[in-house]
Amino acid sequence: MFEKILIANRGEIALRIHRACKEMGIATVAIHSTADADAMHVRLADESVCIGPAPAAQSYLNVPQIIAACEITGAEAVHPGYGFLSENARFAEIVADHGVTFIGPRPEHIRLMGDKIAAKQAVAQLGIPTVPGSEGAVGSDDDAASIAAAIGYPVLIKAAAGGGGRGMKVARRPEDLPLALTTARAEAKTAFADDSVYIEKYLERPRHIEVQVLADSFGKVLHLGERDCSLQRRNQKLWEEAPSPALNAAQREEIGHTVTSALSKLGYLGAGTVEFLFEDGQFYFIEMNTRLQVEHPVTEAITGIDIVREQIRIAAASPIELEQSDIVIAGNAIECRINAENPFSFQPSPGTITQFHAPGGLGVRFDSAMYTGYRVPPYYDSLAGKLIVHGRNRNECLMRLRRALDEIVVAGIETTIPLFQKLVRETDVLNGDYHIHWLEQYLAAHGA
């Protein structure tokens, strides 16, 4: 097992990884920008290295500095968390070239899944159902028009290099297509320096359901059930739950089996998530994330498995000590993303937290790097904390969530808490009766 791990991230996820390391008796190294000198992840770590100025490109994305930090501190492995360099295959290779273990999948699988067109083609060959759409990248506008006509409107234009919902445009009618193509290409070019796009059937009322997997270096591939992340705004998740209120045990078993058998054929290693849209009883692959996800704690709550510990063990070439039959889903869990932003306009709200109180009690977990007096910097994403509640059933989970949301205090900045306080009292949410466009429609109807 490793003796020292460098955590190449910040915020709540850096703390999350630190906690797993400490439980395993592993020393931690934090890296930070000058803007994060007094951040909680720096305070908790055994050692810390300042790797550059505030902008992420010069600090958390600064590969030479991160490698130097490994060399100076003697860290044997790097955990990238999510975001930043977590899905950068080249970074994984560079880390390995320096004799340091990258805690994550093999570079070739990171690269494959990072190209959404190649990923879709690869998983289709491995027996995973995909959304009907173009065979690969679309060429001219005329080609796009004939593909769209064959699939049937509405269609969705998506960026091959996509992520975070960017470079995605809907065309409801043939006359919308040229503008949708131009804007999707322009957005993709700006965000990813790659303007290739593909076309998919636009699903009107699907749920977003994703399957968590763990695969070790001995060929064992397990799934830990699914998460339902249908409550989204601008294709960004805000509320995630497990298990999905929409799946029965047979559907869970079937999709879990489809995913694990495909990934075992691929020779996948580490933790990963296969994302689907689910409509009328059918699953349609949209993408695979080759990293830890923000919403992993809901799966931890219902399975009792520490996913970060498993990632570290797998990277140290230890076998997963569980069988599929050992994974038992107990109760329900819900996560709310507490973002530092206006709850209805979603404008970022950086600033100083003048008062902070974390909720507690049975079945309540609060993952956050906030403290009273902490200044949320304007440079990074707005996720400030995650409230995760667990109950023996969904009803108990919702009771606990209402109580915990009323207990949290985050003063001095705006957060998404007031939105969740409303959602947790909405009939459709209480009934688990929602789809990926539900929240946008709700916000529009409530004047947001």
Determine how many CB atoms are found less than 10 A away from the CB of residue 164: 12
Return the number of the residue (98 or 205) whose C-beta is nearest ligand ADP: 205
Instruction: Tell whether residue 165 is a contact of ligand ADP (CB under 6 A).
Output: yes
Say if CB 134 and CB 199 are below 8 A apart.
yes
Instruction: Tell whether residue 208 is a contact of ligand ADP (CB under 6 A).
Output: yes
Instruction: Tell whether residue 228 is a contact of ligand ADP (CB under 6 A).
Output: no
- Closest distance to ligand ADP from the beta carbon of 166 (Å): 6
Return the number of the residue (277 or 327) whose C-beta is nearest ligand ADP: 277
| Binds ligand ADP (CB under 6 A): choice among 110, 417, 436, 439 | 436
Q: How many angstroms separate the CA atoms of 53 and 57, rounded? A: 9
Instruction: Tell whether residue 368 is a contact of ligand ADP (CB under 6 A).
Output: no
Instruction: Tell whether residue 180 is a contact of ligand ADP (CB under 6 A).
Output: no
- Closest distance to ligand ADP from the beta carbon of 5 (Å): 28
Among this protein's residues, is 291 annotated catalytic?
A: yes
| Binds ligand ADP (CB under 6 A): choice among 125, 146, 190, 235 | 235
Which residue stretch of 44-52, 72-80, 173-181, 196-204 sits at the interface with ligand ADP (rule: CB under 6 A)?
196-204
Instruction: Tell whether residue 200 is a contact of ligand ADP (CB under 6 A).
Output: yes
Residue corresponding to tokens 């003697």: 74
**DSSP symbols for 83-137:** STTTT-HHHHHHHHHTT-EESSS-HHHHHHHHSHHHHHHHHHHTT--B-SB-SS-
- Closest distance to ligand ADP from the beta carbon of 209 (Å): 10
Which residue stretch of 44-52, 97-105, 161-169, 266-274 sits at the interface with ligand ADP (rule: CB under 6 A)?
161-169
| Binds ligand ADP (CB under 6 A): choice among 203, 242, 271, 384 | 203
Q: Which entry of 291, 365, 394, 400 is annotated as an active-site residue?
A: 291
Instruction: Tell whether residue 287 is a contact of ligand ADP (CB under 6 A).
Output: yes
How far lies 357's CA from each of 367, 372, 409, 410, 443, in Å?
12, 8, 5, 7, 28
Mode of pairing for the β-strands spanning 364-368 and 207-215: unpaired
| Binds ligand ADP (CB under 6 A): choice among 81, 105, 162, 272 | 162
Instruction: Tell whether residue 52 is a contact of ligand ADP (CB under 6 A).
Output: no
Q: How many angstroms separate the CA atoms of 100 and 291, rounded? A: 18
3-state secondary structure 40-95: HHHHHCCEEEEEECCCHHHCCCCHHHHHHHHHHHCCCEEECCCCCCCCCHHHHHHH
Return the number of the residue (88 or 232) whose C-beta is nearest ligand ADP: 232
Residue corresponding to tokens 């590969």: 63
Instruction: Tell whether residue 164 is a contact of ligand ADP (CB under 6 A).
Output: yes
Please, which of residues 1-40 interact with ligand ADP by CB under 6 A? none
Q: How many angstroms separate the CA atoms of 438 and 434, rounded? A: 6
Instruction: Tell whether residue 282 is a contact of ligand ADP (CB under 6 A).
Output: no
Determine how many CB atoms are found less than 10 A away from the CB of residue 431: 10
Return the number of the residue (203 or 401) whose C-beta is nearest ligand ADP: 203
Report which DSSP code applies to 424: T
- Closest distance to ligand ADP from the beta carbon of 133 (Å): 7
Q: What are the percentages of helix, strand and coil residues in the chain, rounded to 5?
A: 35, 25, 35
Return the number of the residue (413 or 436) whose C-beta is nearest ligand ADP: 436
Geometric angle at alpha carbon 366, from 213 and 59, rounded to 5° = 75
Instruction: Tell whether residue 275 is a contact of ligand ADP (CB under 6 A).
Output: yes
Return the number of the residue (131 or 263) whose C-beta is nearest ligand ADP: 131
Say if CB 388 and CB 365 are below 8 A apart.
yes
Instruction: Tell whether residue 110 is a contact of ligand ADP (CB under 6 A).
Output: no
- Closest distance to ligand ADP from the beta carbon of 164 (Å): 5
Instruction: Tell whether residue 419 is a contact of ligand ADP (CB under 6 A).
Output: no
Determine how many CB atoms are found less than 10 A away from the CB of residue 242: 29
Determine how many CB atoms are found less than 10 A away from the CB of residue 122: 17
Catalytic residue IDs: 291
Residues that bind ligand ADP (CB under 6 A): 131, 156, 162-165, 200-203, 208, 232, 235, 275, 277, 286-287, 436
